[in-house]
Chains A and B, each alone.
Chain A
């Protein structure tokens, strides 16, 4: 089984991860108090970029930080270098996975630049505030943060949320701030999830270097058949990601990805999510629940294979599909045009290579599905990514006829995250199949209660 080749990791990837690990120690203790060991780490970071376009700015930034020159451009360069190192890891890992799976590497679709609306001038001001806040975090160090240093950023975040051009920033930063506040202040010294927080920090910094430019897209006409889903959420955003085969007239079927997301508050969970997502992706939920295709006319597709979901351009088709067959057909030898990441977004964590495993290729190992047996050899399951939902459970693996999994890289190893399990019934098991029926229940749910209670307070004021 070639996928078993992925039980080892290329040597350069391991080395790069070590280099990043050392850099992250500086973020934990803080750039405001650089030790000699920290300075050495920064010097070896600079050395590994020798001869690249980042070498000169990196030298200047590290020299400046050594002199306690705390300006955001120095931190921007550090973030860019870290992102570039992760980008190189991403590319090496995607090459390894593509070779193991005997498929071409994913490619960005060549699209002509499309005129779009540039971000409004105030976006630049808000992003400057973001960089400032991120710089303060890095100077203090994650181990030394105080809640007083975190709270004022909420005001900037409120303004970012009110700016549609910065929706990506809003989703990332609200999750990051919330996570920092969850840990601080805690009992004693908090345990800092270093790699994760520096990832989020660097991601936010790179994303905030300049206002987002409109991305190139093209209009798509055809049928989308969703065969796998994943749910992502933090206290303030919930996001349903759907993977499917796109059939365009006169072109081979290809895999695309689409995503519907809603902002929320912590108490909105479970059935309440359905009500929130219904507003932006009701037809997508309907198609997922029914195992039906969606006719799309004029939806926009990014070069990365990301379809921008637009309700008005979707029509759920009546026919029930054989989704397991659909997935097997399009994933057995996928085209280079499949979901991927833009160069600036590349990071091992964003790798999600879709694979189809027929029923005789795997067996569930143990009750908790920490591993899959692939022809007698164990392969890790991305257990920590398994959402808590009745729609897709560990038990579904037993006696299943096939599955779709996302091949992921996290914690220094490859793992499979099952995102659809074929039980031999018309509708496969996947996240979101239950959201459609939960929509009705959500009508009188917590969201309505919150708004009604707030209304009472408003009225009492007069």
Chain B
């Protein structure tokens, strides 16, 4: 039986509501630190090390000046927490980084060699909505015998 991973600390859901490794990117949704009404969509691309951060209506993040902004750092931190350093390093193809020595996502920044490269935020956002679909599936009182395989 696989034991689930126990996270070193709880995910900061308010700050980074969504993070995933998908379609060759570490991507997610990050809350603005100053404006409660604002949400950013951020990503790092595997291989190239390119990154971007923008509001959902594709306005670029003001903190993005050639290097990753604080939203991207937060995304990286939560990504490493959620998936563990080894998986993030392998996924992003950061060959120089040693998983055993990495404690937080921020420590991976120096291995990321790419630059800002725009992608449409809508794609990440629709992934977030797909993810949230799980929560809207009706709960059930019916027997689910196969759940015996899943313990923690």
Q: Which of B14, B17, B57, B132 has the most CB of A within 10 A?
A: B17
- Report Cα–Cα, A387/B13, bound state, in Å: 24
Check A185–B91 contact: CB distance below 8 A. Answer: yes
Check B144–A259 contact: CB distance below 8 A. Answer: yes
Check B17–A454 contact: CB distance below 8 A. Answer: yes
CB interface residues, A 224-246, toward B, < 8 Å: 231-234, 236-237, 239, 241
Candidates A345, A387, A456; contact of B152 at CB < 8 Å: A387
Chain B proximity mask over A444-462: 1 for CB below 8 Å, otherwise 0: 0011011101101100110
- The number of A-B residue pairs with CB atoms under 8 Å apart is 175
Check B134–A461 contact: CB distance below 8 A. Answer: no
Instruction: Note all chain A residues with C-beta closer than 8 A to B141.
Output: 258-261, 280-281, 308-311
Check B151–A232 contact: CB distance below 8 A. Answer: yes
Number of interface residues of A (CB under 8 A): 77
Instruction: Note all chain B residues with C-beta closer than 8 A to A207.
Output: 146
- Report Cα–Cα, A411/B42, bound state, in Å: 43
Instruction: Note all chain A residues with C-beta closer than 8 A to B150.
Output: 175, 232-234, 237, 239
CB interface residues, A 135-182, toward B, < 8 Å: 151, 154, 158, 161-162, 164, 167-168, 170-172, 174-175, 179, 182
Check A352–B148 contact: CB distance below 8 A. Answer: yes
Check A453–B125 contact: CB distance below 8 A. Answer: no
Check B140–A267 contact: CB distance below 8 A. Answer: no
Check B2–A193 contact: CB distance below 8 A. Answer: yes
Known contacts being A449-B13, A450-B13, A460-B39, is A261 close to B132, with CB within 8 Å? no
Instruction: Note all chain A residues with C-beta closer than 8 A to B137.
Output: 161-162, 170, 263
B120 to chain A, nearest CB (A): 12
- Report Cα–Cα, A187/B145, bound state, in Å: 33
* A385 within 8 Å of B (CB atoms): yes
* A100 within 8 Å of B (CB atoms): no
* A410 within 8 Å of B (CB atoms): yes
A457 to chain B, nearest CB (A): 5
Q: Which of B38, B128, B143, B144 has the most CB of A within 10 A?
A: B143
Instruction: Note all chain B residues with C-beta closer than 8 A to A175.
Output: 147, 149-150
Q: Could you write out 21 A-B pairs with CB less than 8 Å apart?
A: A161-B134, A167-B140, A172-B147, A182-B87, A193-B2, A196-B149, A199-B149, A233-B147, A239-B150, A261-B147, A262-B139, A266-B82, A302-B143, A350-B148, A388-B152, A446-B13, A450-B18, A450-B132, A451-B135, A453-B29, A453-B31
* B56 within 8 Å of A (CB atoms): yes
Known contacts being A187-B90, A450-B17, is A200 close to B149, with CB within 8 Å? yes
Check A277–B148 contact: CB distance below 8 A. Answer: no
Chain B residue with minimal CB distance to A260? B141
Instruction: Note all chain A residues with C-beta closer than 8 A to B87.
Output: 182, 186-187
A310 to chain B, nearest CB (A): 6
Check B139–A457 contact: CB distance below 8 A. Answer: no
Q: Which 8 A-B pairs have the closest CB atoms?
A: A309-B141, A280-B139, A262-B139, A263-B137, A306-B143, A453-B17, A232-B147, A234-B150
